Amino acid sequence: MAERLKFVRRARELTQQEMADLLEIARPTVAQLEGGRHQPSTEVLEAIISKLDISRNWLWFGSGPMEEYSPVGGNVKMLAGLEEGDYLDIEFVSCKVRGSFLDLMDDGGEVGQFESLDIVRIYDPTPEMRKPGTKGFEIDGDSMEPQLRSGMKVVGVRVPLSDVKYVTSGVYVVAFGSQLTIKRVKSNDILERGILVLHADNPNAGSLPVAGEDIRFMWKVVRIFYADVI
């Protein structure tokens, strides 16, 4: 996100001071945000989205276009009528952060074998979302605030276990042992130390080291498809 914040400021031809004035924050705060030394508050994120006409999914995840243009004004993007739009139906899992994962597992250990998973419809899916194993998850808890709030629903693209050791950045839903959590990955030490450190965006929530051999499933979060207006 730090790189995207810097990119959008330069794309709008703003100095750090002009950006600070627009967002009603101090100039050193802008420098800290762009350097990745400080996490933006929800208010700052919403101000960037509304005042600079930036896509929320692009700002948070780097997904889709930076701008969402609408001929009817605002940042509403009209793709097509729902009956005409491209869509993808995926299985939906209620993701309880640090909650039990055992109730989703049968003897085969596959999430897809859990019979009561609901189906949700995602409009305008990316090709990445059409990969096998893509699922929907609901956020619970505050460990990923301000980017992800409790009650939001997201799309996760399955990461093959053979590729987990190469994951370097992004937000992921991770199943390990009997736990299911959603956290950020900043670096990967599986090849060197056998450990993947999962970070919370909320500075009060800390980080969580997980042994690579304990990871059972992993999904990369690529889109928010439901969020209450705040």
**Do 122 and 34 sit in the same domain of this protein?**
no
**Do 114 and 193 sit in the same domain of this protein?**
yes
pLDDT at 99: 38
CATH code for the domain in which residue 25 is found: 1.10.260.40
Pick 132 or 53 by higher pLDDT: 132
**For 176-220, what is each residue's pLDDT tens digit?**
887 888 999 988 999 999 999 999 988 888 888 999 999 999 999
**Do 19 and 117 sit in the same domain of this protein?**
no
Q: Is 80 a domain residue? A: no
Total domains in the chain come to: 2
Q: Is 76 a domain residue? A: no
**Do 101 and 196 sit in the same domain of this protein?**
yes
**Do 103 and 41 sit in the same domain of this protein?**
no
pLDDT at 105: 44
CATH code for the domain in which residue 192 is found: 2.10.109.10
DSSP letters, 142-206, are: STTTTTS-TT-EEEEEEPPGGGGGG--SEEEEEEETTEEEEEEE---BHHHHSEEEEE-SSTTT-
**Do 12 and 57 sit in the same domain of this protein?**
yes
**Do 107 and 215 sit in the same domain of this protein?**
yes
In angstroms, how far is CA 211 from the centroid of its own chain? 22
**Do 45 and 93 sit in the same domain of this protein?**
no
Distance (Å, whole) CA 67 – CA 33: 20
**For 40-88, what is each residue's pLDDT tens digit?**
887 888 888 888 888 887 887 777 777 765 444 444 555 555 566 688 8
Q: Is 122 helix (H, G, I), strand (E, B) or coil?
A: strand
Q: Is 203 a domain residue? A: yes
Q: How confident is the model at residue 96 (pLDDT cuts 50, 70, 90)?
A: low
**For 149-188, what is each residue's pLDDT tens digit?**
888 889 999 999 999 999 988 999 998 887 888 999 988 9
Question: Does position 148 have pLDDT exceeding 90, yes or no?
Answer: no
**Do 200 and 93 sit in the same domain of this protein?**
yes
User: If you average pLDDT over each of 3-12, 47-56, 217-226, which comes out highest?
Assistant: 217-226
Q: Minimum mean pLDDT among 32-41, 115-124, 156-165: which range? A: 115-124
Phi then psi dihedrals of residue 132, to 5 deg: -60, 140
Q: 26 is in which domain, residue-wise?
A: 2-61
